[in-house]
Amino acid sequence: MGGSGPDHSQKVEIMFKVVRALDRDLAEWYRLRITGTTVRKGDIVCLLEGASSPTIIRPFCDYFAVIMLAVTPIGHDRIQSRTEAPPREFSLVWNWKPSLEDPENLPRKERVGKHGELDYGRATRLWNNAFIWKDLARHRAAKENILRAIQIYGEPANRRHVIQVTEDLLFEILTDFDPKIFDLLLDRRMDDIHVTQKFVPWILRHSNLQTVTSLLDRRGDEIQITEVALIEAVYNTRSGVEMMALLLDKRAHKVKITEAVFLRAITNQADTFDSRYRMVVLLLDRKKDEIEITEAIILAALTNQAGTFDFRYRMVLLLLHRKKGEIKITEAVFIAAVNGDDAYMSVTSLLLARKGDEIQITEAIIAAVRARGINGKAVLQRLLVLRETRLHSEVRHTQHQ
C-alpha cells in the first residue's frame, strides 16, 4: 500500500484473486483519488450488480462497509478485472462510522436475537461472507465464518428456517473447505440439502462413513447407486474400501460391479497397494457371481503401472484363484505377461501352470517369448512341448477316427 500524494491521491496495489489462466495471483498498482476514508490493506475491490465502476469495501465481522463507492483511478479509464470469481451475496453498510474503526463494534441487536438465541440473519451473512473469503484465498477467515454460520443454523430456534444450499455451493464446500465442515452441515441441516444424481458421486468420494450412513438412512430413496457413483466411492479420499463395504451393506441389491468399476479398483493410483488388493478381495467376496473377468481386466492386472511387480503377481494369482474357470488367457494377455520385465517370467509360468491346457499357442506368442532370449528359455521350452503334445494328440485322434 503506497502513501498519499500531493494531489490528494493514494497509490494502491490491487491483488487480483481467482485468476484461472495463471498459476499465481496478479498484482497491479493504481493511484486513486482520496474521497474521505483512506484505503488500507485488506480492503476489497468488487463490482456491484448494475454498477459501471468498481467499489472498494471493508469487512467488519458479518458486514461490509463502503469505503469508496465508485473507483476511478488517476491515469486509467478503469480498473481492469482479471478474475472469474462467481457472483456473491453480502450485506453492505453505508455511513456506519463506528464500525469503520473497530470491527467488533457491532450493535448488540445484530448479535443476539429477541430471546437471546444467536441471530439467524447473522448466520446467513456469515455464510455468504465465507465464500467471499474463500474466493480471496483467505482460508482461515472462510473456515471461521462458515463454521459459525452452521453452528447458528443448527440451533433449535433456527430449525424452522430453510436455508438455500444449492448444488454449486455444496460442491464448493466439498472441494474447497475442510471435509469436516461438509459433514457438520449435513449433520445440522440434512433436510435442507437436495440430493441430486450429480451430487451423489461427489459425496461418495469426499465424505466420511458417518455422513454417508446418515444420508443413506435418511434420504436413501433419493439416492441412485450408479456406475459413476461406485467409481467415485473407489476413489474416496479417506477409505475407498470402507466406503464400498458400506454401500454393499446398505444397498447390496443396487450395487452393480461393472468392468469399469472393477478396473478402477485395480488401477486406483491414489490408494496404497494393500488397500487396492483389499478392495478387489471385497468385491470378489461380495459380488463374485456378478463380476465378469474380461481381457481388459486381466491386462490391467498384468500391466498396471500403479503397482509393483509383487502387487501385479498377487492380483493375477487372486483372479486365477477366485475366477479360474471364467478367465480366458488370450494371445494379448500372454504376450503382455511375456513383455514385462525379467520378473515377469514367473507370471508366465503361473499362467502356464494354471491355464496351460487352454492357451492357444500362436506364432506371435512363440516370437514374443523368443525375443526375451535367455530369460524366456524355460517358458519357450514348455510352450514347444505343449504344442508338440497337442499336435501328437490331434494326429492320434484323426487316425482313430
Q: Beta 44-46 vs 63-68: how paired, if at all?
A: unpaired
What pLDDT was estimated at residue 258?
Answer: 95
Q: Beta 55-60 vs 63-68: how paired, if at all?
A: antiparallel
pLDDT one digit per residue (tens) for the chain, 401 residues: 444 455 555 555 555 554 343 344 444 545 555 566 677 788 888 778 777 778 888 888 788 888 877 776 655 555 555 555 677 877 777 764 544 444 444 443 344 444 334 577 778 888 888 888 887 778 888 888 888 888 777 776 666 665 667 777 777 777 777 767 777 777 777 677 777 778 889 889 888 888 788 888 877 777 889 999 999 999 987 788 999 999 999 988 889 999 999 999 998 877 778 888 999 999 999 999 899 999 999 999 888 766 677 788 888 899 999 988 888 999 999 998 888 765 667 888 888 888 888 888 889 988 988 888 877 778 888 888 777 776 666 545 555 55
| Residue whose C-alpha is closest to residue 62's, from 140, 117, 144 | 144
What pLDDT was estimated at residue 344?
Answer: 65
- pTM, full prediction: 0.65
Sheet holding 92-93, edge to edge: 44-46, 55-60, 63-68, 92-93
The helix (H) or strand (E) run that includes residue 63 is strand 63-68
Angle at 176 between CA 172 and CA 179, to 5 degrees: 95
The helix (H) or strand (E) run that includes residue 319 is helix 309-323
Domain definitions of the chain by residue range? 9-19+32-101, 105-323, 328-401
Task: At 115, list the grid cell.
Answer: 430471546
SS3 content of the chain, % helix, strand, coil (to 5): 55, 10, 35
Contact by Cβ (8 Å): 211, 183? yes
The C-alpha atoms of residue 131 and residue 124 are separated, in whole angstroms, by 12
What pLDDT was estimated at residue 247?
Answer: 94
Residue given cell 525379467 in the structure block:
342
What pLDDT was estimated at residue 239?
Answer: 85
What pLDDT was estimated at residue 298?
Answer: 92
DSSP string, 343-399: GGHHHHHHHHHHHGGG----HHHHHHHHTTGGGGHHHHHHHHHHHHHHHHHHHHHHH
A 10 A CB-CB count for 1 gives 12
What pLDDT was estimated at residue 237?
Answer: 75
Q: Which stretches of 178-322 are assigned E, i.e. beta strand?
A: none
DSSP letter at 276 equals: H
The C-alpha atoms of residue 13 and residue 28 are separated, in whole angstroms, by 6
What pLDDT was estimated at residue 307?
Answer: 62
Contact by Cβ (8 Å): 276, 304? no
What pLDDT was estimated at residue 76?
Answer: 52
What pLDDT was estimated at residue 226?
Answer: 93
